[in-house]
Structure 1
Amino acid sequence: MINQNWLQTFCTLAQVGHFTKTAEKLFMTQSGVSQHINKLEQQLGTTLLIRDGKSFTLSDAGNKLFLKGQELLKSAEELEQLITQDEQYEGTIQIASPGSIGLKLYPYLLETQQSFPDLIIDYNFAPNQRIEQQLADREIDLGLVTNISNISKLVYEKIALEPLVLVTSDQVKSVTWQTLMTLGFIEHPDAKHHGQLLLGKNFPEFEHINQFVHKGFSNQISLILEPVSKGLGFTVLPLHAAKAFQHQELITIHTLNIAVSEHIYMCTNKHSILANRIKYIKTIISKYLVDDLATTNAV
């Protein structure tokens, strides 16, 4: 069995890339770091580092050990936390989602934290691809995404649907193809994808977003509708993002003939040991989003 201390030293060294900095990070001597690496190589009977003076690169075996070793160390850490502290309403939870979902979900989770002050919510707003990578690297506990990739380490659970909507200023009461062509398009990071889904189903003239005059761009979810509210163009957003805009009186959320929605998936790392607090948050998120969207769609 691999000595966990040696493995921790090796993985830290592989990540930091420098013996002296590794020693400082682990509160060891540089010779102590070298001893751990030598003992690990002797135990495994293979070279882990290809040394070149004071620098090094990982061998093939070293790369394999680094990737798998990080997972093993993380599992050991999670197991220790699970055994020593697994209260349902205590501890930190790292969550990430795209902006639209987060605008609706984060305030609700803060209310939950108010009820259970020892339950700490760390919330990140990020695009789907980054969330999936963070989960694969086990940097976060839970992710919410709107599409599925082919990352084998992840488990997806479909929990809700979120409608896509077309938004203009309050001065536009109805939309036609000519209206949209005249207005022009306000873009955001997911605008082309959302536009393709919604406009492609509702306008036979639609081929691609570039048919519209580009009238602006914002990557801040809370600011995307600012230019729209001023009549500078239209955009397509998930419903939560449109409903979260603080000046609802300045925009019109249009209902099109053919409704289009995105799936919302709860996502975890299949190798993670889920503590009770994470199971609890998973449950309340699923229920909240399902109930909220059911109410919204009913209205």
Structure 2
Amino acid sequence: MINPIWLRSFCTLVEVGHFTRTAERLHMTQSGVSQHVHKLEDQLGQPLLARQGKQFTLTDAGERLYRGARDIIQSLSDLEQQVGMDPAHEGVVRVMSPGSLGLKLYPQLLALQQQHAKLVIDYRFAPNGDVEKAVARQSADIGFMTRRSSLEEVGCDPVAEEALVLVTPAGVADPGWEQLQALGFIDHPDGDHHAGLLLSANYAEFQHSSQFAQVGFSNQINLILEPVSMGLGFTVLPAHAVESFKKPQSVRAFQLPHPVSETLYLCTRRNKAVPNRVSTVIAEAKKCL
């Protein structure tokens, strides 16, 4: 394989037409430039220059080498620049989070993308387990979770708190234990977990969400409150999900006497450098939380 440093010296010499000026441009000695040309000639077994004192012309082999080498040298130079570039507002940033948090973050990150045309936000809604797996296998640059990751490859930092809210149909005035039992529970993928956290802190009777009749289920975060709004049951959700519901007048959110919040964790691949574009998105996300 031809040494690209020798090729660069040769191409620069052809373009400059003078050994001394070539050496100055490449920050080399004149003898160093000559050595590179001689090494190329030795490797290729062909004279590349026809020398006349301090002047030279290209041989046929030299012409052929220059025609092929100049594009290679330019490509290597472009590649070096591309690898070295780390723009703060260009490229794809892949983000994953549970749905409630996504309802709050995604519009804000899209607003950031509007400001920077070359920045692309790839946002996926997923439960905690899928988020940590994606960060571990590097199919997501940033993950937000409502618990610490159990995977060694994933580093987590607490960044915010998200309150849990009891949500009933609008006509409920006092969500006592008997009232909740009469309504029944609208479940969702994190329903048992959220109910366990909030209801156990506020109702002495609570042991498990199975104490309530399950009267509905949805895995779409923006639809969980639809059956609640129709009077079909109650649920427990993070505040972000409740705030984003399109018909707030049809439900009632209760801040119970003993508030409970979930810690939100920012997760990235451990021991992996964070590109500037990802740092930009992380900073914007933190401002929103």
Normalised by the size of structure 2, how large is the TM-score? 0.71
| 1:134 aligned counterpart, secondary structure | helix
Q: Within 1, Cα distance between the matches of 2:242 and 2:164?
A: 9
Matched with 1:67 is none
What stretches of structure 2 of length at least 5 have no aligned partner? 1-79
Matched with 1:141 is 141
Q: How does 1:73-88 map to 2 (within 5 A)?
A: 83-88=83-88
Q: Within 1, Cα distance between the matches of 2:201 and 2:190?
A: 17
Aligned residues of 2:97 and 2:144 also touching (Cα < 8 A): yes
Q: Within 2, Cα distance between the matches of 1:148 and 1:261?
A: 15
Residue-by-residue CA offset, 1:231-280 (whole Å, 9 max, x unaligned) = 00000000000111100010100110000000000000013221101111
Matched with 2:102 is 102
| 1:256 aligned counterpart, secondary structure | coil
Letter in 1 for 2:166: L
Letter in 1 for 2:213: V
Normalised by the size of structure 1, how large is the TM-score? 0.69
Matched with 2:213 is 213
Letter in 1 for 2:178: Q
Q: Which runs of 4+ in 1 moved over 3 A?
A: 80-84
Aligned residues of 2:165 and 2:237 also touching (Cα < 8 A): yes
Aligned residues of 1:174 and 1:254 also touching (Cα < 8 A): no
What stretches of structure 1 of length at least 5 have no aligned partner? 1-79, 290-299
- Structure 1 stretch displaced more, 266-275 or 223-232: 266-275
Q: How does 1:247-258 map to 2 (within 5 A)?
A: 247-258=247-258
Q: Of the two, which has the highest radius of gyration?
A: 2
Matched with 2:224 is 224
Aligned residues of 1:82 and 1:275 also touching (Cα < 8 A): no
Q: Within 2, Cα distance between the matches of 1:255 and 1:206?
A: 17
**How far apart are 1:84 and its partner, in Å?**
3.5
Q: Within 2, Cα distance between the matches of 1:102 and 1:82?
A: 32
Q: Within 2, Cα distance between the matches of 1:82 and 1:111?
A: 27
Question: Is 1:118 matched up with 2:118?
Answer: yes
Matched with 2:181 is 181
Identity level (%): 46
**How far apart are 1:288 and its partner, in Å?**
1.7
User: CA separation of 1:282/1:152 partners in 2, compared to 1, >3 Å: closer, same or farther?
Assistant: same
Matched with 1:130 is 130
Aligned residues of 2:186 and 2:217 also touching (Cα < 8 A): yes
User: CA separation of 1:122/1:81 partners in 2, compared to 1, >3 Å: closer, same or farther?
Assistant: farther
Q: Within 2, Cα distance between the matches of 1:276 and 1:258?
A: 41
**How far apart are 1:82 and its partner, in Å?**
7.8
Residue-by-residue CA offset, 1:178-198 (whole Å, 9 max, x unaligned) = 110110000000000000000
Q: How does 1:9-158 map to 2 (within 5 A)?
A: 83-158=83-158
Letter in 2 for 1:258: H
**How far apart are 1:173 and its partner, in Å?**
2.0
Residue-by-residue CA offset, 1:52-77 (whole Å, 9 max, x unaligned) = xxxxxxxxxxxxxxxxxxxxxxxxxx
RMSD: 1.5
Q: Within 2, Cα distance between the matches of 1:248 and 1:234?
A: 14
The number of residue pairs the alignment matches comes to 211
